[in-house]
Chain A
Amino acid sequence: MTAPPAGPEVGTRNPVVRLRHNKVELALHELRAGEGRPLLLLHGLGERAPREVPAAVAGWPGPVHALDFTGHGESTVPAGGGYTCEVLMGDVDAAIAHLGPVTVLGRGLGAYVALLIAGARPEHVRGAILCDGPGLAGGGPDPGSPTVVRLDRTVPTPPDPFALLELARDVRPPDYATSFARQATHLSGLTTPISVCALGRPAWLEAVVGEPGVETADLEQALGLHASN
């Protein structure tokens, strides 16, 4: 892998910026240019960045970007697997290093990663919106019985089958998730840093909903709240 030239690629589609996260090259799509704080969309497990601004977030006043996680969309499919949600949090941090402070909106797996980055970069995540989507539950609150699954590497990618396998069974203990929510609340300076729009409530999310600084809302309310933060 060699580092591509920086800067957006111009074409008939949305501009894409290639970001570097360790050995992985990430695709950050600019769905809509604009002034003000960007909204950063994080897709669900096995998905990819949408090609255009989803109707449900069209009311966001600022620019809208969407990131392809490692192993998804136009980002690198790495050899040998080894996915964790923590490393995907690093993917989002690479986007934040490029965009500056953002509001994040995640679907499914992206919702969990949005929570992690909200806790880990509380000064740069100005609100996290957690929505339903593929990979919301992960592997549940404890490890269950371990298995070792080897994959057929002839399956076309993306998405990387290792990502589908490993990120569907990563452990998400409720007290681990709440520690990120608490960090967002203690350190972001926002009264309500986290909005939960998801109707699905795996154990980690049920616990997060009970934390101070976390509100349940519909998407329009959540976007309105964080746009004015």
Chain B
Amino acid sequence: MPAADAPSPEPHADEPLPTFPGAHRPDRTRTVDVGGLRLAVHEWGDEGARPLLLAHGGFDFAGTFDVFAPLLADEGWRVVSWDQRGHGDSQHAPLYSWDADVRDALDVLDTVTHDPVPVIGHSKGGGLMLQLAESAPHRVSHLVNLDGLPSRRRHPDVADRERTRLLAGELTAWLDHRRSAAAAERKPGTLDELARRRARMNPRLPIEWLRYLVPIGARRDPDGWRWKIDPALRFGGFGPWRPEWSLLRMPGLGVPMLGVLGLEPEDMGWGTTPDDVVPFLPPGARFVPMEGTGHFVHIERPHEVAELVLELLS
């Protein structure tokens, strides 16, 4: 690896792209039209095998399942995932919302089967799948939530006036971002620079993995690589949603559930502890807290997580 500040040479077009042990690109990729928007759908495994739906987290893309999904495909599953609107190879949307993402998921599922299927979601994808399971229980046979379990936690206690200032800062920043979003572009860089930038959000993941992700989640422009994600999307923000509303979807789940929680706190995680979750698990649910594991449980421990999933589905 070059020193942090030294630009690394770009690989030539015919130079081999980074590889990662156990990673396989999807067997099939296609597009699905959702209300006039084009989503990229990626599948691993035999087309005639039993299907399941796999949802990625915010600021990720289906390619982040390149190690995890093949482990399920190898055991006889047709693993269907998609790049959420604005992410990966899907179209950048004029508008984004939680409900639109859930609707997109169902539109993707419609192109696979109308029978109930297992749904698996990481982080935000786990929250989306919880809402899908409540709004369309006839389409869901099992639910797996990978470090996407909501918590009740909100801002630490602060005085009303301070809370007002906190919100004011977030609002101003968000509106200022909206004013510049039309012209915004992701910053270009070398493949290594993009991998190192991602490492700031994914500090526990091997840099080789992050390098592997760059040619999948980024495109090569004449001035360098750029992550494909819509620059209009940004972290943080505000809104009327309360975490406990997601939490309260769990006790009513009528299908077998597996929840996996990484216990190492991370910026990208939700800060949820087992005590937040356990009281809200539906009857018979399996809950697995993982010591020494961060938010990306299926990337840090793909074999163990795949085994837990396969046990639930067997």
Contacts and interface: CB of A to CB of B under 8 A. Distances in A.
Interface residues of B, number: 44
Nearest to A86: B239
A143 B102 contact: no
A214 B235 CA distance: 32
Interface residues of A, number: 47
B175 A80 contact: no
B83 to A, nearest CB: 14
A81 B103 contact: yes
B177 to A, nearest CB: 9
Contacts of B22: none
Contact of A172 (B95, B136, B240): B240
Given A23-B232, A97-B179, A146-B134, A83 B168 contact: no
A149 B102 CA distance: 10
Contacts of A81: 35, 95, 97, 100, 103
B167 A22 contact: no
B117 to A, nearest CB: 15
Query: Most A CB atoms within 10 A — which of B96, B167, B174, B175?
Result: B175
Interface string A66-85: 00001000001011111110
A179 B163 contact: yes
A216 interface: no
Contacts of B160: 182
A21 B182 contact: yes
A150 B35 CA distance: 8
A22 B35 contact: no
Interface in B101-128: 102-104, 106-107
Find the residue from B103, B181, B240 having the highest chain A CB count within 10 A: B240
A90 B128 CA distance: 25
Given A82-B85, A146-B131, A23 B164 contact: no
A22 B103 contact: no
The residue in A78, A142, A148 that gathers the most chain B C-beta atoms within 10 A of its C-beta is: A148
A10 to B, nearest CB: 25
B99 interface: yes
Given A20-B182, A171-B241, A80 B167 contact: no
B94 interface: yes
B92 A23 contact: yes
Which of A122, A153, A182 has the most chain B CB atoms inside 10 A of its CB?
A182
B112 to A, nearest CB: 16
Contacts of A149: 103
A143 B178 contact: no
Interface in A117-153: 119-122, 142-143, 145-151, 153
Contact of B164 (A20, A82, A186): A186
B102 A146 contact: yes
Nearest to A171: B240
B309 interface: no
A72 B245 CA distance: 31
Which residue among B35, B106, B179, B242 has the maximum number of chain A CB atoms within 10 Å of its CB? Answer: B35
Contacts of B168: 119-120, 122, 183, 187
A119 B100 CA distance: 26
B164 A120 contact: no
B240 A173 contact: yes
Contacts of B85: 80, 82
Given A143-B245, A150-B107, A176-B240, A82 B95 contact: yes
29 contacts: A21-B182, A22-B178, A79-B35, A79-B37, A80-B36, A80-B37, A80-B95, A81-B95, A82-B93, A82-B96, A82-B97, A84-B97, A87-B95, A93-B178, A94-B178, A120-B171, A121-B175, A122-B168, A145-B134, A145-B135, A146-B102, A146-B135, A148-B99, A148-B102, A149-B103, A153-B36, A179-B164, A183-B164, A187-B164
Interface of A: 20-24, 70, 76, 78-84, 86-87, 89-90, 93-94, 97, 119-122, 142-143, 145-151, 153, 162, 166, 170-173, 176, 179, 182-183, 186-187
Closest 6 CB pairs of A and B: A79-B36, A82-B95, A78-B94, A82-B100, A80-B37, A120-B171
